[in-house]
């Protein structure tokens, strides 16, 4: 029988993290959104969200735009084509684990 780590080896390690998966799920639903919307929706700490956004950006899954809105910093995040493809592949692999016969 395969160990749990081996069993999930096909799953993208960038996406196979609770908070990063939530962030990408939000970005699959909207065109672009703000850092604060992600923080409110995931109910995670700002620092943690910031770290995970950086990791997703380094992987090329999201683009981050930093601007100013009414003299306050405003960070907007959107999914890249690479990120969208990675998410779709991740879901396909999940389905393989859940329904191996398909």
Binding site for another protein (CB under 8 A): 4-5, 8, 11, 16-19, 21-22, 25-26, 28-34, 36-37, 40-42, 90-91, 94, 97-98
Rounded to a whole number of angstroms, the minimum distance from the CB of residue 31 to another protein is: 5
Per-residue tokens: 88: 């779709």
Question: Both tokens of residue 49?
Answer: 């969200």
Whole-number Å distance between alpha carbons of 66 and 101: 46
> Closer to another protein at the Cβ: 22 or 57?
22
Give CA–CA dist 69/88, Å, rounded. 33
In angstroms, give the least distance from the CB of 77 to another protein. 9
> φ and ψ at 52, to 5 degrees?
-70, -35
Least Å from the CB of residue 97 to another protein: 4
């Amino acid at each position: 029988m395969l160990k749990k780590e081996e069993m999930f080896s096909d799953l993208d390690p960038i996406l196979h993290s609770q908070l990063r998966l939530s962030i990408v799920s939000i970005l699959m639903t909207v065109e672009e959104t703000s850092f604060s919307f992600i923080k409110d929706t995931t109910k995670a700490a700002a620092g943690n969200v910031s770290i995970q956004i950086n990791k997703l950006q380094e992987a090329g899954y999201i683009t981050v735009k930093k601007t100013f809105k009414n003299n306050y910093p405003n960070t907007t995040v959107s999914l890249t084509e690479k990120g969208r493809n990675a998410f779709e592949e991740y879901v396909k692999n999940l389905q393989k684990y859940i329904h191996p016969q398909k």
